Every structure is written in structure tokens, then in C-alpha cells.
């Protein structure tokens, strides 16, 4: 079920009304959320419900067993059960065919031919997200940072919580699970904040991302027949497509959770205003970046083992992060490229220079900040080309055309539509302006976080009007494939 679908527009109000009719009974609320979440997830394919139920059951049982023993050998064994089950399921459904084909290609390179066989399976929606969410639960219990839940209903509802189930934010049990144990009362102001953030997320998805997708798909599918200048347009629009698509989903998820009295973590913090690549990764897909930091980078030693060890750990993190996004060498290369981007900052000890907002106490950035934001955006766009391309060779071919003399030609718009390009460009500018002036807030169109104002409602109605006038036909969210 898509957030931007007719089904969800019917599903959400029904669940919302039923949920608050049971606001005096915590168990009834959690039961309703669990049933609604399973309906939401099973809408794609009911067979995948068995996977999320099995994963939840394993981690619930492992968590409780971890609390019963102090024996280090048994505790490590229990943790390995959780790791092997969860990562095993992820590996089979997401990566088996990739490794099988790569294995066959390696033998073909040496003149041998083997047929490893392929599994005719569909990638379960959101498996990468809820797998990491359940793993964090058992790892935190193993580390002694979390007490296991004694209420299976709350735990199953936490794992399958429908607003953030299929594309994040990747929540930690330390933040979200306790909220299922607490009695929740309807808060009108918080619900209004949720509705406002949902509207903003839908604008970014339907008006920005989906209109960009229409142009991007045409350019990337036939890139060899376009000029370098046109390919630049395609790459820039893909940068805004993936941002509008993924951050839009996160905004809708966070806003929807607020309607039910839950607070999810911020997943995006205006990443395209970053002044270097380190700042970009502190602001892009925050829940995933911090997950890898806490559960992989720090356990590997982080930056405590000297420069060589730090570099090794950074490459491991970025490459695995790339591989997390998809079973394709393009994602691995994208991760590798971002690791290379990071090295100059590390060598100069500048990787933690920009920890605050750009132009924090000013309306406009200075020249140095402008240069930093522009150069970082260009590096990110180059990376997105590899992310979007079907193969690494295709990405390099795309870049070679950009670097040719055709870069100086007028961008080709015939067949794409000047009107579509114009509407998309104006919508992007509107989003950039709103986010720039609202960058000090979690959601840029919250004029007043305590109570709605006249201006805030005007902005919301204008965004809704733009949704109906310029919203593109329904398309899936990009990150559903991860």
C-alpha cells in the first residue's frame, strides 16, 4: 500500500478513528496497530507476512533468552542465532542471485562456464529496513543497553509499525519500543503538526520526485542519444527525485506516526545544504548512517586505531552501505566513491568541521559556504549517476558524454516536454526556498511548533493545490526496492 495511493487515503482515516476510540485501552490500541500494520504490509503480497512474523518471533525469543543468562558463550551463541537468521533471510531474498551470477561471471573470465542457477523470488518490500530494526533490538540487549520486552504484542507492533515499516526511518528499540508500553492520549496540536508534515512529504513526493522521474527515466533510458548538457539536467533532476522521494516518504511516515501519538527520529536534515561530504552523510538517511556507525563502525574500532585503521573502517562502512542499497556492483561502486570523497577531509582532520547549520544566524550564506554547498552537491550528483545507472560501464559512459563538447550545447527538450520541465523546475525552486528559510526546524513549513497559525494553513492549502494541479501519476517509492 503506497502513501500516495487511494487505498491509503481510505485506510489511514479508518485506522485513525478506530485507534482513538480505544484510547483508554493500551492493549486494544497496540492490537489495532499490529493488525493495521500487517494489513498495510500484506497489501503487496500476503505471503511476505510470514517473513516479518518469523523474524519478529526469533528476535523476541532471543531477546528474552539473553536476559536469562550471564554466560558469555551462551549469550554470543544467542546473538549469532539472531544475526544468522535475519541476515540469512536478507541474503537469500536480496543477494543470492547477485552472488550466484558474480560467481559464474568470475569463472567465465577464466574461460570456464558454470550455471549456478537462479532463484525465482521477489524481493520482500522493506526487508532491509525491518531486518536492521530487529537486529538493533537483540544487539542492544546483548550489550546491556536495553531490557527485553515482556509484552509480545508491543514488540510485534514495534517491528511492523506501518508508518515506517517499508522505507524507514530505521528505528531503534530504545526509542520506539517504550512508546508502545506507554498510554497515549490524543493531542490536537501534535496531530496538526503531523498533518502538516504529511502534506509537505506528499508535495516532495508527488510534485517534485514523480515529475522529476518522468524526465529522468527518459534521459537515462536513452542517454547515448542526448547531449552532455541534457545529461547534466537528467543527473541534477535525479538528485532531486531521490531526495523528494525518500525524504518525502520519511516526512509522511513521521507525520503519520504523530497522528497516533508516536515520535519517530528525523531521517533527513536538509542534506543538499551541506558544505562537505561528511556533513552530507550526517544529514542524509540519518537512521541508516547512525545504525552503521553504532553497530559496525564503532565495533570495528572506529577512529581509535590510527589513520590506517580508520581509513579501512570508513571504506568498509561505505561499501557495505552501498551494498545494503541493492544487489548490484553500481551500488558498491557508489559506496566506494563516497569513501574516496571522505578521505581528504579525514587526512586534513576536517570531517567534523561543519556540525551546525549553514548560515545559522544569517539569511544568506557567504561565498565560502556557497562554494562548499555547490562543490558538495556536484560530488553527490556524480555519485548519484552510478546509483541510478544499470551498470558501472553505463555510468562511466554517461559521464564521458557530459565531459564531451556537447556539454556546451543547448539541452534537448523535444519529446520530454518544455511544460513538464518548466513545472518541475519551478517546483524544485519552491522547495529549495521553503527549506532554506525553514532549515532551523525539523519540518520547514512549521511556522509555529506549538500551535497552527494563519500563515501555516495558507502554505498548506497552497501545497495541496499544487498537489492536485501538478502532481504526477502515481509511482512507487524508490527505496521500496531496498
Kindly list the catalytic residues: 325
Upper half-sphere CA count for residue 405 (Cβ side, 13 Å): 0
Residue with cell 499490529: 34
By 3-state DSSP, what share of the chain in percent is helix, strand and coil, each rounded to 5?
Answer: 70, 0, 30
Are 151 and 178 within 8 A, CB to CB?
Answer: no
Are 355 and 274 within 8 A, CB to CB?
Answer: no
Which are the contacts of 151, defined by CB distance < 8 A and separation ≥ 6? 180, 181
CA-CA-CA-CA torsion sign (435, 437, 441, 443): negative
Residue with cell 510485534: 156
Residue 43 to residues 175, 202, 473, Cα–Cα distance (Å) = 27, 20, 20
What is d(CA 474, CA 221) in angstroms, rounded to the nearest whole number?
A: 20
Q: Which three cell numbers stand for residue 111?
A: 574461460
Are 286 and 350 within 8 A, CB to CB?
Answer: no
Residue among 330, 327, 320 nearest 297 (CA): 320
Q: Estimate the crossing angle of helix 152-160 against helix 26-42, to 10 degrees.
A: 40
What is d(CA 433, CA 431) in angstroms, rounded to the nearest whole number?
A: 6
Query: What one-character-per-residue DSSP string does 234-259 give?
Result: HHHHHHHHHHHHHHHHHHHHHHHHHH
What is d(CA 452, CA 193) in angstroms, rounded to the nearest whole number?
A: 8
CB under 8 A, 24+ apart: contacts of 57-62: 58/82, 58/85, 58/86, 59/86, 59/134, 59/135, 59/137, 59/138, 59/159, 60/148, 60/149, 60/152, 60/155, 60/156, 62/138
Which are the contacts of 414, defined by CB distance < 8 A and separation ≥ 6? none
| Phi-psi label, residue 268: left if phi above 0, alpha if psi -120 to 50, beta otherwise | beta
Are 302 and 310 within 8 A, CB to CB?
Answer: yes
Amino acid at each position: 500500500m503506497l502513501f500516495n495511493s487511494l487505498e491509503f487515503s481510505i485506510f489511514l482515516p479508518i485506522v485513525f478513528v478506530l485507534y482513538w476510540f480505544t484510547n483508554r485501552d493500551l492493549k486494544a490500541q497496540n492490537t489495532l496497530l499490529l493488525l493495521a500494520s500487517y494489513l498495510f504490509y500484506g497489501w503487496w503480497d500476503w505471503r511476505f507476512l510470514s517473513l516479518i512474523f518469523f523474524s519478529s518471533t526469533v528476535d523476541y525469543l532471543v531477546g528474552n533468552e539473553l536476559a536469562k543468562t550471564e554466560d558469555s558463550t551462551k549469550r554470543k551463541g544467542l546473538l549469532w542465532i539472531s544475526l544468522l537468521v535475519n541476515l540469512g533471510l536478507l541474503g537469500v531474498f536480496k543477494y543470492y542471485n547477485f552472488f550466484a551470477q558474480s560467481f559464474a561471471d568470475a569463472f567465465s573470465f577464466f574461460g570456464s562456464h558454470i550455471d549456478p542457477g537462479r532463484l525465482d523470488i521477489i524481493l520482500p518490500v522493506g526487508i532491509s529496513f525491518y531486518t536492521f530494526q530487529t537486529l538493533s533490538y537483540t544487539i542492544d540487549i546483548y550489550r546491556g543497553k536495553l531490557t527485553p520486552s515482556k509484552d509480545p504484542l508491543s514488540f510485534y507492533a514495534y517491528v511492523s509499525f506501518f508508518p515506517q515499516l517499508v522505507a524507514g526511518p530505521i528505528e531503534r528499540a530504545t526509542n520506539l519500543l517504550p512508546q508502545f508500553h506507554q498510554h497515549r492520549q490524543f493531542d490536537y496540536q501534535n496531530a496538526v503538526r503531523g498533518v502538516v508534515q504529511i502534506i509537505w512529504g506528499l508535495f516532495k513526493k508527488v510534485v517534485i520526485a514523480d515529475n522529476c522521474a518522468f524526465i529522468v527515466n527518459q534521459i537515462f533510458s536513452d542517454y547515448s542519444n542526448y547531449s552532455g548538457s541534457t545529461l547534466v539536467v537528467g543527473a541534477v533532476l535525479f538528485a532531486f527525485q531521490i531526495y523528494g522521494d525518500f525524504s518525502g516518504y520519511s516526512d509522511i511516515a513521521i507525520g503519520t506516526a504523530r497522528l497516533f501519538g508516536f515520535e519517530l527520529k528525523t531521517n533527513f536534515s536538509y542534506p543538499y545544504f551541506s558544505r562537505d561530504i561528511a556533513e552530507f552523510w550526517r544529514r542524509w538517511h540519518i537512521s541508516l548512517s547512525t545504525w552503521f556507525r553504532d553497530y559496525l563502525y564503532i565495533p570495528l574500532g572506529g577512529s581509535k586505531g590510527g589513520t590506517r585503521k580508520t581509513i579501512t573502517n570508513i571504506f568498509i562502512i561505505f561499501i557495505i552501505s552501498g551494498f545494503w542499497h541493492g544487489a548490484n556492483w553500481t551500488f558498491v561502486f557508489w559506496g566506494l566513491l563516497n569513501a574516496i570523497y571522505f578521505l581528504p577531509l579525514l587526512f586534513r582532520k576536517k570531517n567534523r568541521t561543519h556540525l551546525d547549520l549553514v548560515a545559522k544566524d544569517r539569511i544568506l550564506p557567504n561565498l565560502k559556504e556557497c562554494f562548499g554547498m555547490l562543490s558538495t552537491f556536484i560530488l553527490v550528483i556524480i555519485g548519484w549517476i552510478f546509483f541510478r545507472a544499470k551498470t558501472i560501464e553505463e555510468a562511466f559512459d554517461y559521464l564521458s558524454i557530459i565531459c564531451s563538447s556537447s556539454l556546451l550545447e543547448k539541452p534537448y527538450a523535444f519529446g520530454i516536454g518544455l511544460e513538464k520541465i518548466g513545472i518541475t523546475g519551478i517546483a524544485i525552486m519552491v522547495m529549495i526556498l521553503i527549506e532554506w528559510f525553514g532549515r532551523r526546524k525539523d519540518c520547514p513549513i512549521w511556522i509555529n511548533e506549538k500551535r497552527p497559525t494563519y500563515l501555516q494553513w495558507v502554505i498548506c492549502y497552497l501545497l495541496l493545490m499544487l498537489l492536485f494541479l501538478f502532481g504526477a501519476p502515481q509511482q512507487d517509492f524508490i527505496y521500496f526496492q531496498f
